[in-house]
Structure 1
Amino acid sequence: MAGESDESDLRPPVFSLEYLQSGWCIQDCQQAERARMLERLRQISQRTWREIRQLDRHGYGTETISRGSIRAVLPSFLTEDVRLLAFRAFDLVAMVGYRSGRIFHVIWIDREFKLYKH
């Protein structure tokens, strides 16, 4: 997973909410926040992974998040080789998860800027 560079780089991301963690989930968001996140996912999905890697982390790009900076319990399936990434959902709200090929698995939605040390 580290350094994803294959044909999936030329395709847009697909977002999965399958592994969202309790307390950091879409159901914890207000309706207006959900609408803004959905619009952001649509916008990000218009770009390829290669384009996203070149964009600013505060815009439509990503940033790598250190495992040690995460303040929530790490699910057991997040092994040491999994690189955590954050997308800006809107304002200061981040979607943190990992990439596997084209798929970005969202693990946490950080609405209160508390998930990781900045």
Structure 2
Amino acid sequence: MSSKRKFKQPPKESGNKLGTPSAKQEESPEQQPPIFSLRYLDNEYCITKCTKDEQAAFALKIHKLSQLTWCQIQSQDRHGLGYEKIARVAIKAPIPKFITEDVNIIAFRFSGKSPMVGYRDKAVFYVIWLDRDFTLYDHG
């Protein structure tokens, strides 16, 4: 015997379409946690080129970072949960044309010292390269 059960729909916060909570929209990006985007990830430095352990480390790192605000991240060590700026001239791969000269390129460490490199736009960090083999830029 099977009985058909209907589940109650959860209550909507507002209207027919839900949006971002208004309190978050009013906060400055510095007071928000980062949002990570892989939209522009370079195929040569892609997550698919990483080992399973590196993929897991990447997921754990973005989870940890998403628990902090940008302001908190800026006060962290660059080899821990913080980041460092990378000079454009140091990047060996082609930089997408939409990343203009005024945009800072920054790197977080995601697996050991392997960096995920990209740029920030307000609260969003766009990951462009996962430099697992340290070939993207001169690491000094």
TM-score range, shorter chain: over 0.9
Tell whether 2:60 aligns with 1:39.
yes
Letter in 1 for 2:129: W
Counterpart in the other structure of 2:104: 83
Greater per-residue strand proportion:
1
Number of residue pairs the alignment of both structures matches: 113
Tell whether 2:87 aligns with 1:74.
no
Show the 5 A alignment for 1:1-118.
Answer: 7-118=28-139
Q: Identity, % of aligned pairs?
A: 45
- Per the TM alignment, residue 70 of structure 1 is displaced from its structure 2 partner at its CA by 0.3
The two structures have a TM-score, normalised by structure 2, of: 0.78
Taking the aligned partners of 1:83 and 1:20, their CA distance within structure 2 comes to 17
- Per the TM alignment, residue 78 of structure 1 is displaced from its structure 2 partner at its CA by 1.2
Is contact 1:65–1:84 with CA below 8 Å preserved after alignment? yes
Q: Which one has a bigger Cα radius of gyration? A: 2
Unaligned runs of 5+ residues in structure 2 are 1-26
Is contact 1:92–1:113 with CA below 8 Å preserved after alignment? no
Q: Which has the higher contact order (CA 8 A, sep 6+)?
A: 1
Taking the aligned partners of 2:97 and 2:103, their CA distance within structure 1 comes to 11
Taking the aligned partners of 1:22 and 1:73, their CA distance within structure 2 comes to 12
Taking the aligned partners of 1:40 and 1:15, their CA distance within structure 2 comes to 11
Residues 51-86 of structure 1 show CA distances to partners (whole Å, capped at 9, x for unaligned) of: 101111000001000000001111111111111000
- Per the TM alignment, residue 33 of structure 1 is displaced from its structure 2 partner at its CA by 1.1
Unaligned runs of 5+ residues in structure 1 are 1-5
